[in-house]
Amino acid sequence: MAKKNVRIHALEGAEMTAEGLSYKGVIMETVVEKCDGCERVVEFEDKKYCPSYAQPAIKWAHSVCNFATHVRAGVDKEGKVKVNPLKASKRAARGR
CB 72 within 8 A of CB 65: no
DSSP-assigned beta bridge partners for residue 12: none
Answer yes or no whether residue 44 interacts with ligand SF4 by CB under 6 A. no
Site size toward ligand SF4, by CB under 6 A: 13
- Of the pair 21, 41, the CB lying nearest ligand SF4 is at 41
Whichever of 2 and 5 has its CB closer to ligand SF4, that residue is 5
List, in sequence order, the alpha helices (H) in the chain. 56-61, 88-94
Does the protein bind ligand SF4 through residue 38 (CB under 6 A)? yes
- Sign of the dihedral through C-alpha 70, 76, 81, 82: negative
- Binding mask 56-85 toward ligand SF4 (x if CB under 6 A, else -) reads x--x-----x-xx-----------------
- State whether residue 14 is helix, strand or coil: coil
* Count of residues making up the chain: 96
Which residues of this protein are in contact with ligand SF4, per CB under 6 A? 31, 35, 38, 40-41, 50, 52-53, 56, 59, 65, 67-68
